[in-house]
Structure 1
Amino acid sequence: MGRDFQPVCQLGDLELGRGVVALVHGQAVAIFRLPDDVVVAIGNHDPFSRGAVLARGMVGVRDDVHFVATATHRHTFDLHTGRCLDDPTVTVPSFPAKVVDGTVLVGPRTERRASA
């Protein structure tokens, strides 16, 4: 599993509460630094506007859930799971992220299991 993680940048390169885009495993990924230096990663593609804009969205917290809100349609996506908080039938991919020795690493897309 460790070799599946790709180095992206240094933690200090990320601004708190601001997103950046990186190409990870061939996919555009929006990466965010949250309080306590937690790093999260979701797909950068907004399924509503069909644009690559999620990294430019506004980061916030609602009911203890960190989210990014798109600038155009104001849809919000959970930064840990990729689920849309406004329409639970819509998701964007999520990617495992971690910091090792100050380097931000992002793994391959998290596969979701179908609900029973």
Structure 2
Amino acid sequence: MNSSVTQASTTAASAAESNWIEMCQLDDLPYDAGVAALLHADTPEEVQIALFRVLDTDTVYATGNYDPFSHANVLARGILCSIGDELAVASPILKQHFSLTSGQCLEDEGVRIAVYPVEIRGKSVFVKAD
């Protein structure tokens, strides 16, 4: 009985671990700028994301790259800023601001972009895929 429980928890841990995808090395990301990347590259689930390394730290945020206002994958080219205590990216086209932590549009409560958990393991950047 214990071996089945161990096997089940090992399988669950492996499944959870498989949702983390190595995207790049931390040093590949410039400070205070965005980089576009493909999550689930070459699969039907492929989606563009934007990775942001901010404030001269090893903190990295991952959001969807799709701007719902301009209907284009451009958020990685946006300008990073702070609005109050909120870190945000401003769309390079129509200038709406999106929270890097929640994805919430700061000008329109009804609009939100995807955000993804990020882990730094050693010098590798991993993003958790849904």
Q: Matched residues in 1 for 2:60 and 2:17: separation?
A: 17
Equivalent residue of 1:37, what SS?
coil
Structure 2 spans left out of the alignment, 5+ residues: 1-15, 41-45
**1:67 aligned partner:** 88
Which residue identity does 2:93 align to in structure 1?
A: T
**1:22 aligned partner:** 37
**2:100 aligned partner:** 79
**1:9 aligned partner:** 24
Deviation per residue, 1:6-40 (Å, 9 max, x gap)? 00110011011110111113110001001221111
**2:73 aligned partner:** 52
Deviation per residue, 1:91-115 (Å, 9 max, x gap)? 0111111110110000114xxxxxx
Equivalent residue of 2:104, what SS?
coil
1:2 CA drift (Å): 2.1
Q: Matched residues in 1 for 2:54 and 2:86: separation?
A: 11
**1:43 aligned partner:** 64
Runs of 4+ in 1 over 4 A off after TM superposition: none
Question: Is the helix fraction higher in 1 or 2?
Answer: 2
Give the alignment partner of residue 97 of structure 1, picking from 112, 115, 118.
118
**1:114 aligned partner:** none
Deviation larger for 17-26 or 49-58: 17-26
How many residues end up aligned between the 2 structures? 109
Q: Matched residues in 2 for 1:18 and 1:38: separation?
A: 12
Which residue identity does 2:54 align to in structure 1?
A: L
Q: Matched residues in 2 for 1:69 and 1:31: separation?
A: 14
Structure 1 spans left out of the alignment, 5+ residues: 110-116
- Percent identity, aligned pairs only, is 37
**2:9 aligned partner:** none
